[in-house]
Amino acid sequence: MFIYWFYLRHLRIEFATKNYNAGMTRRTLVGGLALAAAFPVAAKSTLVRFGGPIFLKSDDPAELAKEHRRLGYSAAYCPAVSIKDTPKIKAIEKAFLSENVVIAEVGAWKNMLDPDPATRQANMEYVTERMALADEVGARCCVDIAGSYNPKVWYGPHKDNLSAKFFDATVENVRKVVDAVKPRRTKFTIEMMGWNLPDTPDSYLRLIKAVDRSGFGVHIDICNIINNPAKFYDSRAVIVESFQKLGPWIMSCHAKDLAFLPEMNVHFAEVIPGRGELDYGAYLTELAKLPHDAPLMLEHLKSSDEYDEGRAFIQKVAKQVGVMFA
């Protein structure tokens, strides 16, 4: 594609300035014009970083980094490491940098709004520690959800999860984490959810404004906010709106897919990318439009075979829409 782009750009510049080679044959001219019609010059795009879990059983950062590259990945979830193990943190950063694989995110999957005060405090301490690890290892972000008031399922629905009380508590929690760590290289991010705030790009914008911290960013998981049939059947609109409104703050994204299961009420199920209806052409195109390379990370699949299938599908779609990976 680059060769086509370079040739067409050269051809169009020559015609625009009327300085094309007088010796150009009619066949070359006609062929060039046909090529121009078939391959219009596209705007410059960002190389997309793509990643996912790996199944190599090793604690060696160099081996782990090479395995990501073998699979065609240029982004990774942070390998297991303690915030106290400074030598290993440095080894991870060095090994992955040498393979041009970025650490996309450090997960901090705890309920920051647990109804039990003692559990909530312990969870906040864990999340803060994970945020500190993200900064030390140079990850793009640390990610959690805002939490839930559900006493049984830490991410589950609750009548107060869309309330002003929930929003205000989330603002306070995010500020606590960011202010405690004072990040230099990473950002704290919250995943949108279909039944917890933030649940739309607009509610995330409200949260960004309310938190008012440069160390707070955005994590995108499009499937999480597809919570009705209209969004399911027009996922492109959901994707475009999310990237248009939140683009400057997007640090990392998750990749999965949704299927609409026929039941007596609405039921969307997560499936391997390619087996659902999510518009991956739009997802990849919007990622490539960002001025920075926010990684796209596969998640929630059950085996290496499922990840192979999902990876191959996303790579195929990327080729179809002209998006290239780092």
Q: What pTM was computed for the model?
A: 0.86
Ranges of residues in the chain whose predicted pLDDT is under 50: 1-43
Q: Which residues pair with 75 in a beta bridge?
A: 51, 102
- Longest CA pairwise span in the chain (Å): 82
- The range of the structural domain enclosing residue 92 comes to 45-321
Summarised one tens digit per residue, pLDDT across range 220-256 is 999 999 999 999 999 999 999 999 999 999 999 999 9
**12 and 92 share one domain:** no
**5 and 114 share one domain:** no
**144 and 275 share one domain:** yes
Preceding omega of 273 cis (within 30 degrees of 0): no
75, 102 in Cβ contact below 8 A? yes
Domain total for the chain? 2
Q: What is the dihedral of CA 105, 257, 58, 145, to 10 degrees?
A: 30
Residue 179 lies in a domain: yes
**26 and 64 share one domain:** no
> What's the pLDDT score for residue 140?
98
> What's the pLDDT score for residue 45?
77
> What's the pLDDT score for residue 18?
35
**165 and 202 share one domain:** yes
**27 and 125 share one domain:** no
Could you please report the per-residue DSSP string of 112-157? Answer: TT-SSHHHHHHHHHHHHHHHHHHHHHT-SEEEEE-----SSSTT--
- Residues with Cβ < 8 Å from 252, sequence gap 6 or more? 75, 104, 105, 140, 141, 143, 189, 219, 220, 294, 295, 297
Q: Which residues pair with 252 in a beta bridge?
A: 219
If you search the block for the tokens 């067409």, which residue do you land on?
8
Q: How far apart (Å, rounded) are the C-alpha atoms in residues 96 and 61?
A: 7
**17 and 106 share one domain:** no
**49 and 29 share one domain:** no
Residue 326 lies in a domain: no
